[in-house]
Structure formats: C-alpha cells, structure tokens
Structure 1
Amino acid sequence: MGPTQSNPLVSVVVPTYERPEAANRAIESVLDQTYRPIELIVVDDHSPRPVADALGPINADDVQVTTIRHEENRGGNAARNTGLDAATGEFVAFLDDDDEWLPKKLERQVTALEREDAGFAYTGVRNVGPDGETISITSSSNGGRVTKRLLFGNFIGTFSAVMARRTVIERAGRLDERLPSWQDWEYYVRLSQYGRCVAIPEPLVVRHNAPTGQISRSIEPKREVSYPLLLERFRPIASEYDVERKMEGYLSYALGRAALSNGDYAGARRDFIRSIVRYPFDPSFYLYLAAAAGGRYAYPSLRTVKRYVTRLTA
C-alpha cells in the first residue's frame, strides 16, 4: 500500500530505555513499513544516555518523528501513556524497543480494522533467541468479542502485536502505571470492552527474547502487585459473565507458571492448588502442580509431557 491522501494516519509509540541498538532496529522496522503516513513517537524513559543521541538518521517520506524524554525513569506503561498523549493518528500501534515488525504489519492491520469495522487488531509473533534462532511461532486466531476469553489468559501476547483505533483507546482510558507486569493483559481486557477484535494469523512481529533483564521474568512484582490488582480489576467483569471462579482459577494458574519458571516451586504449588480449588476442570492445572511438586527435577520434562498429553487428547 503506497502513500495516498486517503490513508488514515497511524501513530506508532515506541517506549525505550537504555537499549539504543535495539531501539534503532525497532525504528528501522517502522521506516520499512509499506504503509504511509506514519507518526513515529519515541519515548525515552530517562535512559542514562539520551536515546535521541544514539538514534541513527531518520529519513523517510510521510513519517513524522517526535522524540520525548522523561525527566525520571517511570516504567513502560508511563512511557506508553506519554506516547498516547502525543499521538494524533486515527490508529495507534505499540512497538517495544526490543521487538521489530515485518514490512506489511501496519498495512495488514489498517486494512483489517477498516474492513471489519473493529476496535483493535493483533498479529502472530515469531519469538527468536539471542542468536536470532526461532524459538516458537504463535498464530493469532481469537477474534470478535473476546472479553470473556481474555479473562482466562492473555492469548494476544506482546504490545508490539497490537493496533487499536484511537476512539477505542480513549474509551478504555490510560494504561495502569501501577502494574510492573501483565500490563498488556490488563489493557487488552479493557480494549475488548469497547470494540471487536480482529486476529491476523501471520507472524508479522519478531520478538527478541533476551536471557535476562525482562521484568516479566521476575515473580515478586507479579505476586505482590500485579496479581491482586488484576484480581480486583477482573472480578466485576467476570461476574457479568458468571465466570468469576474460572477467572480466579486461570489467574492463579498464570501466577503459578510464572513462579515455576523462576524456580519458586513452593509458591507455584500453592498457586496451582488455588487454581484447582477455584476451577478444577482444566487438566493443565494438575499437570503443572505435578511439575511443581517434583521441583527442579520434574520441571524440565514438563514440555515433553504436555506434548504427549496433547497428542493423546487430540
């Protein structure tokens, strides 16, 4: 899709902190988009070295670039909110600084949102390791009215896969800056209350998984802050669908999986037991409880067992 006067403006919000090389890669993938016009908003969350000093030259037709720097480090959602405050486009897309897009990502999403008259859209994601090797590929498939399904887990994934209409974002409100993790999951539930979702199966996002340093790898913020906040936020919505106990079961399950991946086996056991008490109908809860009971010797074999169980029940 070439640039035309009829194309609506897309605002791209890139929050970044102390990763100039990754940020340059992310920005380059924005400039390589087949869609125009684009408003690119880079929000530097007070990096020790200002990101503006490290960015390469940005020369592209129909790309308006704005760089904003926080006076203190405030976190990813605060940076996204700053970008939203500055955005003027009809559509808004998020891109984390350690991710990148394939060239047709924006074009495919704008086309889908306009065709379906939907509120937001997401794409599949290719997850890669430090050496660029593909770890996994997720394909999006859940579309339509997805609020109820989102209460049981974040099937959308990274912010980098999402584009939303500005009108839907305005109704959903600002992102919750109190959340140190699961910020995306909480926000998708709110977006879904004000617009239909479009799933674009192709993996048009490349997510670079670093071995350390990602906040999602820390269990304590999830346990002490994110879990109680999401429980409080999701309960009234779940009550409307009469799935409060099921929602609580899946939220405890998500917490248990995070604990398990961080080596907190005792905490994971408590989380999985709570998930079973609240919703005893998902076999995965029992499988993960068994892995947590086996500790560090059982957990590595869990993926193999899950594949075997999946084949038996398919």
Structure 2
Amino acid sequence: MADTQRDPLVSVVVPTYDRPTAVTRAVRSVLNQTYRPIELIVVDDHSPRPVADALQPIDDEDVRVIPIRHEENRGGNAARNTGLEAATGEFIAFLDDDDEWLPEKLERQIVAIDHEDAGFAYTAVRNVDPDGNTVSITSSSHSGAVTKQLLFGNFIGTFSAVMVRRSVIEQAGLLDERLPSWQDWEYYVRLSRYCRCAAVPEPLVVRHNAPTGQISRSIEPKREISYPLLLERLRPIAREYDVERKMDGYVTYALGRAALSNGDYAGARRDFIRSITRYPFEPSFYLYLAAAAGGRYAYPTLRAVKRHLTRLTT
C-alpha cells in the first residue's frame, strides 16, 4: 500500500443519479484501492432517493467522504463539474456510478503519470454485459502528445478510466455542460493541449453496459446537439494539424456507428457516405457502410463476429 504520509491526495469524483445499488458498488471499489489518501466526492444529481444515506456506513480513516446533492437535476457533466469545484486533491479521478475499479487502478496511474511526466493517465477498460460476461476490452496504447490522435476518435473511452493532475484542469477549465454526449471526447482533446498523456495497458476499469437507459444509446441528442457542437470545438484544432477533413470524416463515422447501434440504418448510411466523402482512405468506413446497407440483418452479424473475436483474444 502507498505511504499515506508522503503520497498526494487523490480526489475521486462520482456523479450519480438514482442508482443506489450501482453507486454502492462503485464506492466499494474506491474503498478497496491500494492507494491512499483518497477524497471521495459523490455528487447526487437530485436523485429521487438521496444517495447520502448509502454512504453513511463508510468507515475508513484515509478516505474523506463528501456527499453533495444538486437541488435540481442538471446532468452528468454538471455533476462532474460540481465535483471538480469541490475537489482539493493534487490528482482527480472520475468514476461513473455504474462502473467499478480494480484495486490497483489509482496506484498504477499515479506511477504512470510520474514516470511519463504526464498530466493525465488512462487505463484499458473491460466492458461487460448485465450477466458479467466480457463483451470487449479496450486498448490502451497511445501516450505522449496525443491531441492529433484524439481528433480521429475517443480511444480513451469512459471518464472512469481517467486521472488528471489538478493543475491541468485549472488550465483546461471545466467540462462543457452543453454536450449531452461525447463530452468525454471533447474534454480529452482539451486536456491533451496542455500536457502529455500516460497509458496504463491493463484493463483496471470494469464498465457495466446496461441494455437500455444510457445516454450514449440515444442517437437524437448526438445528431442534433453533440455532433455539430463537437465539430465546432474540434475544427480550429484540426486546422492547426492540417487534418480538418480527416477529423470531420472520423467524427461523422462515430455518428454513423451510434446510428447503427440504435437501428437507424438509413441515417447511418448517410453518415458513412459523408465520412467517406470527407476522408476516403479509412477501410472501416466502407465496412460499416456495407453493414448499414444490409440493415437489420448485416449489422447484428458484424457485431456477433466482433464479439466472437473478442472472446478468442481474452
């Protein structure tokens, strides 16, 4: 276990809304960390059942628990910003209420940040279905100066995988509360402008993918709000790297992937055609256009093949 007399405080920000069982699991994974000291900030985004009662039994002298409750429901980004404003640690780590960490997650990230002289770090993530079966494991391989790579896709993934130096957040600012989705992608690009990134290759985060109800599964907010706003935020940066059309192609491809997962095959076809028009050099654009053209028969087949390949490699 880390030395509590010398090691810097880590503030853990957990936004939550009406998931008492899940948030209890998430909090338990924080308490099981091999790293200390920890400041645990649980921001209740005005749940029908206040979460503070579930936190009362916590008894750990090295974990300071700070429950905060919004007077009205304001969304996940607002809850994370409330936690950021309350945090006092040198490092800040995010944990979504339906995810959990393996015990060595924080300790491994502290070491990686120090070793790489980085401003933030992320780990690989194991995605599981409601029965606990592994659906996929993300890769965690990009490190160093990663702004350009992030313009072509959110390879970092969920906020739950990320730890950031407080000094970098002070430079980059708070999260953009206008974004109903892809808020993590936009924020990672912004953070990367001020520092290097460290990658921890092991999947130290378990992400529980619910069958319904997650905002990432709703296509309309992405299409009408997140997509144009993300392009607006990324275009000036892409111009600096002379990759504006390529960036546009990859963001549009991400929109098409979201449309496919929601069964909007016609919309997905339009998205993939535009992504190819903007950047015709990525084979995945054509593969997913073919899946969208095949409609409700081809896309499930593509997903089944990907799941089978994941099982063979895990």
Smaller-chain TM-score range? over 0.9
Kindly report which structure 2 residues correspond to 1:122-271, keeping only aligned pairs within 5 A, or say none: 122-271=122-271
Structure 1 residue runs of 5 or longer lacking an equivalent are: 309-314
Are 2:295 and 1:290 equivalent residues in the alignment? no
Alpha-carbon separation, structure 2, partners of 1:136 and 1:299? 17
Q: CA deviation at 1:299?
A: 1.1
Q: CA deviation at 1:304?
A: 5.9
Kindly report which structure 2 residues correspond to 1:88-99, keeping only aligned pairs within 5 A, or say none: 88-99=88-99
Contact 1:272–1:288 (Cα < 8 Å) also in 2: yes
Q: Give the letter for the 2:36 counterpart.
A: R
Are 2:121 and 1:117 equivalent residues in the alignment? no
SS at match of 1:148: helix
Q: CA deviation at 1:112?
A: 1.1
Alpha-carbon separation, structure 2, partners of 1:105 and 1:56? 24
SS at match of 2:164: strand
- 2:85 aligned residue: 85
Count of aligned pairs between the two proteins? 309
Alpha-carbon separation, structure 2, partners of 1:41 and 1:125? 22
- 1:312 aligned residue: none
Q: Deviations over 1:217-264 (max 9, x none)?
A: 000000000000000000000000000000000000000010011011
Structure 2 residue runs of 5 or longer lacking an equivalent are: 309-314
Q: CA deviation at 1:114?
A: 1.4
Contact 2:46–2:73 (Cα < 8 Å) also in 1: yes
Q: CA deviation at 1:307?
A: 9.4
Q: CA deviation at 1:85?
A: 0.2
- 1:300 aligned residue: 300
Contact 2:77–2:177 (Cα < 8 Å) also in 1: yes
Contact 1:34–1:103 (Cα < 8 Å) also in 2: yes
SS at match of 1:127: strand
SS at match of 2:222: helix
From the superposition, tell whether residues 99 and 111 of structure 1 become closer, same or farther in structure 2 (CA, over 3 Å): same
Alpha-carbon separation, structure 2, partners of 1:66 and 1:164? 19
Q: Deviations over 1:71-129 (max 9, x none)?
A: 00000000000000000100000000000001100001111111221010000111111
TM-score scaled to structure 1, two decimals?
Answer: 0.96
TM-score scaled to structure 2, two decimals?
Answer: 0.96
Q: CA deviation at 1:303?
A: 3.7
CA RMSD, aligned part only? 1.5
Structure 1 stretch 128-137 or stretch 62-71: which is displaced more? 128-137
Contact 1:13–1:95 (Cα < 8 Å) also in 2: yes
Q: Give the letter for the 1:36 counterpart.
A: R
Q: Give the letter for the 2:220 counterpart.
A: E
Q: Give the letter for the 1:86 counterpart.
A: A
Percent of paired sites with the same residue = 83
Contact 2:124–2:139 (Cα < 8 Å) also in 1: yes
